[in-house]
Amino acid sequence: MIGRSEEYEKMFRIEEQLWWYRILHERVVDTIVHFFNGRRDVSILDAGCGTGGLLHFLRKRDYTTLRGIDGSSDAVDFCHERGLPVQLVNLNELTGFEPDVLYDVIVCNDVFCYFNNDDLTRLLRQLARRLKPGGILISNNNAFGIFQGQHDLAVGSTRRFVQADFDRLMPPTGLNIVRSTYWSFLLAPLIVAMRQWQSWQLRLGWRRAENAQSDVYLPSSWVNKMLYTIVRLEGKLFQRTPFGSSLFIVSKPTQAVE
Ligand X SMILES: C[S@@+](CC[C@H](N)C(=O)[O-])C[C@H]1O[C@@H](n2cnc3c(N)ncnc32)[C@H](O)[C@@H]1O
Q: Binding residues for ligand X, per CB under 6 A?
A: 1-2, 48-50, 53, 70-72, 75, 90-92, 109-111, 114, 155
Residue from 36, 32, 89 nearest 57 by CA: 32
The least distance separating ligand X from the CB of residue 199, rounded to whole angstroms, comes to 19
94 vs 175, beta carbon nearer ligand X = 94
Cα 202 to Cα 157, 192, 206, 212, 240: the distances in Å are 16, 15, 6, 9, 33
The least distance separating ligand X from the CB of residue 162, rounded to whole angstroms, comes to 19
What distance in Å separates the CA atoms of residue 133 and residue 220, rounded to the nearest whole number? 45
The least distance separating ligand X from the CB of residue 204, rounded to whole angstroms, comes to 27
Contact call for residues 5 and 77 (beta carbons, < 8 A): no
- Phi–psi pair at 184, nearest 5 degrees: -95, 120
Q: Are strands 246-253 and 131-142 parallel, antiparallel or unpaired?
A: antiparallel
The least distance separating ligand X from the CB of residue 219, rounded to whole angstroms, comes to 18
Q: Are strands 103-107 and 246-253 parallel, antiparallel or unpaired?
A: unpaired
What distance in Å separates the CA atoms of residue 233 and residue 243, rounded to the nearest whole number? 16
74 vs 234, beta carbon nearer ligand X = 74
Residue from 247, 79, 96, 226 nearest 170 by CA: 247
The least distance separating ligand X from the CB of residue 1, rounded to whole angstroms, comes to 5
What distance in Å separates the CA atoms of residue 12 and residue 25, rounded to the nearest whole number? 14
106 vs 175, beta carbon nearer ligand X = 106
159 vs 256, beta carbon nearer ligand X = 159
Show Cβ contacts of residue 138 under 8 Å, excluding neighbours closer than 6 positions: 28, 31, 32, 105, 106, 107, 108, 109, 248, 249, 250
The least distance separating ligand X from the CB of residue 88, rounded to whole angstroms, comes to 8
37 vs 116, beta carbon nearer ligand X = 116
The least distance separating ligand X from the CB of residue 109, rounded to whole angstroms, comes to 4
3 vs 134, beta carbon nearer ligand X = 3
109 vs 173, beta carbon nearer ligand X = 109
